[in-house]
Amino acid sequence: MHHLLAQSLAGLEAWDGAVDARLRSLRTGFSDRGRSWLLLANDQASRGDTLAALAALDSASTRDLTDGERATLLELRDALARPRPEPRE
């Protein structure tokens, strides 16, 4: 149930709530799924927590992933490694 709540909150761009729900989901039995870790990494990156997103990607990389999930992992890791442009005033 927590994974459904996380998905809904992410759809609303309520990143803090989505991350909390994803963490609860992982604690209640979804931690063996690589996709769960990829979704957590995406939510953490969306809220600006690059280090937590990278840690979630590391966890995802230890799970069985489909080819598509592995490609997503690499794309997200590459995106997080790129420097962000400075905001313009």
The share of the chain scoring above pLDDT 70, in percent, equals 100
In angstroms, the CA 49 to CA 45 distance is 5
Give the pLDDT mean for 22-41.
88
pLDDT at 77: 93
Residue for token pair 């998905």: 7
In angstroms, the CA 55 to CA 74 distance is 13
Per-residue pLDDT tens digits for 45-65 = 999 999 999 999 999 999 989
Q: Which domains does the chain have, with CATH numbers?
A: 2-81 (1.25.40.10)
Give the pLDDT mean for 26-49.
89
When the pLDDT of each residue in the chain is averaged and rounded to a whole number, the result is: 89
Predicted TM-score (pTM) of this structure: 0.85
